[in-house]
Structure 1
Amino acid sequence: MHKNALGRRVFAGLFSLLLPLAAVHAQAPKPITLIVGASPGGTTDRVARGIAQEMSDILGTTVIVENKPGAGGNIAADQVARSAKDGNTLLVSFTSFTVNASLYKKLPFDPQKDFSPISMLAQVPSVLVARKDFPANNVEELIKLGKSKPKELSFALGGIGSSLHMATANFQMVTGIEGLNVPYKGTSPAIQDLVGGQVDLMFASVENVLPLLDSGRIKFLAVTSDKPLKQFPGLPPVSDTVPGFTSQAWFGMFGPAGMSPERLAELNKAAVEGAKRPSFISLMTHGGGQVVTNTPTEFAEFIKKDIAHYADVVKFTGASVD
């Protein structure tokens, strides 16, 4: 009996020591998963990994990045739309989120009703470039040439439905140029053909053409930001010739619809604070972009307007995906 009583006291003592540990474990925040609708290594992936690191530090929890490429980001978006409303599964998306609302005939989700916009994270402009012996040296000369030769100027498209495709379409729509659009499966092969002189023009990402800046292999005409970029000294914005024209890819964070206001506010605060940290700012400016953050309400309004904007652009292109 004495041994049994001693054993019970020892067990009770050990159990009491384990209770605080169990409580700590129960209170530990669950990891957050950022679903990315793009392959590793691209701009969207880098944005996601950059903000994941900052938010992990701010929230004191693990933030994991999971790549789910395919269908222009729709596979990733659909997964988040169907996820639990606890804010532990989030989406880092890009311009295709609003483009796809018009590009795809049918989506498995509603981009405005099935998500909780958290915050925009960044915007990245593109660069209008031409083959090295292209006769126009600026946007004004390009527009005059394009209007004098309808459907003769060839524009390389770095992916149907991409932000670069939409920049091309928007430019043609507002300037009245009827171009011959040549689709490619990505930006790299399009640039190769531009360098080789097989196509005349294209809108390209900053990071893809920056290495060619002083090579003399292509001609730089303009940037699509509203201000000049420090990476391209002396290169004017398209808007200097075409007032009001801007075309910038955006990147932002979403949760599923129905998250609590408290959780939404917590995630917005962490995302905004993380995006304004020097390391994330450096990541964005390296690729010619800039950090842009907002409130959930402001981001939701932006999404609404962007869907309407791209509805007109997609209609102009005639592009459609079943």
Structure 2
Amino acid sequence: MFLKTSIRRFVAGASGAFAALALTAGGASAHSTAWPDRAVRLVVTVGAGGAADTLARNLSNGFTSVANGQALVVENRPGAGGTIAASLVAREKPDGYTLFLAEVGPNAVSHTLAKLSYDPHTAFSPIVHVANLPAVVLVRSSLPYKTLDEFIAAAKQQPGKFNFASAGLGNWTHLYMAFLNSRAGIEQVNIVYKSGAEMLTALLRGDADTAVITVSTSLAQVREGKVRPLAGSAARPMRQLPDVPAAAATLPGFDVSVWHGIVGPAGMDPALVSRINAVFNQVLQVPQVRTAITEAQAADIIGGTPQQFDAFIKEELKRWPEVVRAAGIKAE
């Protein structure tokens, strides 16, 4: 009698425990699959009209159709090389409703140039690598140089004569040109502007000699002959400018693109990260989004898993501090 009673109690207790476990797991699953049940903020590092802003708005245009009818609201927080936007997101709750459009500066470089309120190694939950945007090395059209080799030769003969436009210390526009200068063994003076659009205007006015700018920002002016392309920043040919050689043809090993991905604050539940990853991978398959990113922005869509993006960021965190030191980039 005692044995039968004990068995009945064990079975009842075990059934209750398994039921509770199933309820908990089901609750977690329901929570993650219910995301989003309200609007989601996507914080970007630049003002309206910048390449990152345009990419974010392209994502926003496809978000509602695959995300329970909810909106993706783009929030512009420019300044301090992207660290204003990054630090804002790092302080938010890890609930999936404030996300950051990550990039090389605030996520892999800025901590080597200044003391930040966040540690890029630990402050974020990587979610998905969205896209890589090709960039092009430009000179103002009034300069006589037709190739990167010609410009480098002139810069070596006249150290410090030329200047380049950038969007600020640690911004990719600064970092990539400093990398090029270091590899080429030349010196240029950095002139800071607020955005890629302002940088392009500086070239058009003759206020700046050179710049590295995304293809999408500069393509119209390149085709009109208002600025001259010397080289693509990435090793692969540019679809929109197939006759422009890669910088790597002159500087072996120079291969950089403007990468962007989605991250959230540290401490996000893995199930929630997986859900957000799945949603953004679906967004990247929306035809109008794919066309806007691959054609209008001349970018390569990446997608993939959180683990793949995490591994990519870790490689960037190893790569760029070494470049900063080799190039002698210091806080200004």
**Shorter-chain TM-score: which interval?**
0.7 to 0.9
Alignment of 1:89-108 (within 5 A): 89-97=98-106, 98-103=108-113, 105-108=114-117
Distance in 2 (CA, whole Å) between partners of 1:227 and 1:129 is 17
CA positional deviation for 1:118: 0.1
Q: Distance in 1 between matches of 2:36 and 2:141?
A: 55
Distance 1:301 1:123 in 2: 16
1:41 counterpart SS class: coil
* Alpha carbons 1:93, 1:252 under 8 Å: kept: yes
Q: Over residues 85-112 of structure 1, what are the superposed CA-to-partner deviations in whole Å (9 max), with x where a residue is unaligned?
A: 3323222222322222223x22122212
Query: What is residue 319 of structure 2 aligned with on the other side?
Result: 309
- CA positional deviation for 1:175: 1.5
Q: Deviations over 1:40-87 (max 9, x none)?
A: 332222222322343332231413314141433333323332322332
- The superposition leaves residues 136-160 of structure 1 with CA deviations (integer Å, 9 ceiling, x where unpaired) of 3212222222223322233232433
Secondary structure, in 3 states, of the residue corresponding to 2:146?
Answer: coil
Q: CA RMSD in A?
A: 2.4
- Please name the residue that 1:63 is paired with: 71
Does the 8 Å contact 1:226/1:237 carry over to 2? yes
Cα drift, residue 121 of structure 1? 0.5
Name the structure 1 match of 2:299: 289
**How far does residue 310 in structure 1 lie from its aligned partner after superposition?**
2.3
CA contact (8 A) 1:35 1:76 kept: no
CA distance in 2, matches of 1:96, 1:72: 6
Q: 2:214: which partner in 1?
A: 205
Quote the sequence identity (%): 30
Q: C-alpha separation between the residues in 1 aligned to 2:105 and 2:177? A: 15
- Higher mean displacement: 168-177 or 137-146: 137-146
Partner of 1:3: none
Q: Which amino acid aligns with 2:274?
A: A
Task: State the shift of 1:171 in Å.
Answer: 0.4
Whether the 8 Å contact between 2:100 and 2:263 is mirrored in structure 1 is yes
Over 3 Å counting, the alpha-carbon distance change for 1:261 and 1:145 in structure 2 is same
Alpha-carbon contact 2:42-2:73 (below 8 Å) kept? yes
Q: Does 1:269 align with 2:282?
A: no
Letter in 2 for 1:31: R
Q: CA shift at 1:194, angstroms?
A: 2.4
Letter paired with 1:277:
V
Alpha-carbon shift at residue 238 of structure 1 (Å): 1.0
Work out whether residues 163 and 191 of structure 2, in 8 Å CA contact, stay in contact via their aligned partners in 1. Answer: yes
| Residues 244-268 of structure 1: CA deviation (Å, up to 9, x unaligned) | 2122111110122222221111111
* Contact 1:156/1:199 (<8 A) preserved: yes
* C-alpha contact (below 8 Å) 1:31/1:64 kept by paired residues: no
Instruction: Kindly indicate whether residue 51 of structure 2 is the aligned counterpart of residue 43 of structure 1.
Output: yes
Show the counterpart of 1:33: 40
- Structure 1 contact 155–201 (Cα < 8 Å) conserved: yes
Whether contact under 8 Å (2:138, 2:212) holds in the other structure is yes
**After superposition, where does 1:2-21 map in structure 2 within 5 Å?**
none
- 8 Å CA contact retained: 1:164, 1:204: yes
Of 88, 91, 116, the match for 1:82: 91
Tell me the distance in 2 between the aligned counterparts of 1:317 and 1:225.
22
Which amino acid in structure 2 is aligned with residue 279 of structure 1?
Q
d(CA) in 1 for partners of 2:74, 2:223 = 37
Secondary structure, in 3 states, of the residue corresponding to 1:213?
Answer: helix
Please list, as runs of the form range in 1=range in 2, the aligned pairs for 1:145-294 lying within 5 A after superposition: 145-285=154-294, 286-294=296-304
What is the number of equivalent residue pairs in this alignment? 294
Any idea what SS the aligned residue of 1:219 has?
strand
Relative distance call for 1:112 and 1:125 in structure 2 (3 A) is same
Equivalent AA in structure 2 for residue 206 of structure 1: V
Aligned partners of 2:104 and 2:172 also within 8 Å: yes
Shift of 1:297: 1.5
Equivalent-residue separation in structure 2 for 1:138 and 1:249 (angstroms): 22
Q: Distance in 1 between matches of 2:201 and 2:265?
A: 40
One-letter code of the match for 2:147? Answer: N
Q: Compute the TM-score of the two structures, normalised by the length of structure 2.
A: 0.79
1:44–1:93 contact (8 Å) kept in structure 2: no
Distance (Å, rounded) in 1 between the aligned partners of 2:133 and 2:35: 36
Q: Deviations over 1:145-199 (max 9, x none)?
A: 2223322233232433221111110101112112233333333443334234343
**Corresponding residue for 1:6?**
none
